[in-house]
Amino acid sequence: METERYGIINGSGRPSICLGMARGDWMSSCTLATDLSQDIKGQTRQIFDVFDEHLTVAGTDRSKILFAQIWLKRMSDYDGMNATWNDWIDPDHPPARSCVRADMANPNHLIEIRITAARIS
């Protein structure tokens, strides 16, 4: 069984990572926004756009997300993130989710999210 990797990043001064991967019956993706001029809603939406792409490539969708881990730079951004989350997530199949405040490696990042999803029904 081969592991599929999405969004491989490497280069001088950067960690060698992939933003998403799938193997067998599951996939996982973890990413940050790229346009750091945006507010929490904009950065969250950028992350969801990447997730939509990774879910599609992995042959799954939002209804199969099992778990989400959210790191926020400021808990004062919780309501804005949560509103964007509620607009994006499948309301009939919400995943387990946790959200914590965390220092970000780049202070302009407001949020980082990781999801894990099933690839089978």
Is the residue at 11 inside a domain?
A: no
Confidence of residue 17 (pLDDT cuts 50, 70, 90): confident
Is the residue at 99 inside a domain?
A: yes
Q: Which domain holds residue 49?
A: 24-118
As given in the structure block, the two tokens for residue 98 are: 């946790």
Residue range 33-53: mean pLDDT, rounded: 97
Is the residue at 5 inside a domain?
A: no
SS3 call for 47: helix
Give the closest residue to 112 by CA, choosing from 33, 18, 2, 25. Answer: 33
Count of structural domains within the chain: 1
What does the longest C-alpha to C-alpha distance in the chain come to? 43
Is the residue at 29 inside a domain?
A: yes
As given in the structure block, the two tokens for residue 97 are: 């989710």
As given in the structure block, the two tokens for residue 121 are: 């029904």
Is the residue at 55 inside a domain?
A: yes
Is the residue at 19 inside a domain?
A: no
Q: What is the DSSP letter of 13?
A: T
Is the residue at 93 inside a domain?
A: yes
CATH of the domain at 70: 3.30.1330.40
pLDDT at residue 34, as a whole number:
94
pLDDT at residue 121, as a whole number:
65
Phi, psi (rounded to 5 degrees) for 10: -165, 170
Q: Is the pLDDT of residue 39 over 70?
A: yes
Question: For residue range 48-65, what is the model confidence (pLDDT) as tens digits?
Answer: 999 999 999 999 999 999
Question: For residue range 61-113, what is the model confidence (pLDDT) as tens digits?
Answer: 999 999 999 999 999 999 999 999 999 999 999 999 999 999 999 999 999 99
Is the residue at 6 inside a domain?
A: no
Q: Is the pLDDT of residue 14 over 80?
A: no
Give the closest residue to 102 by CA, choosing from 112, 89, 92, 114. Answer: 112
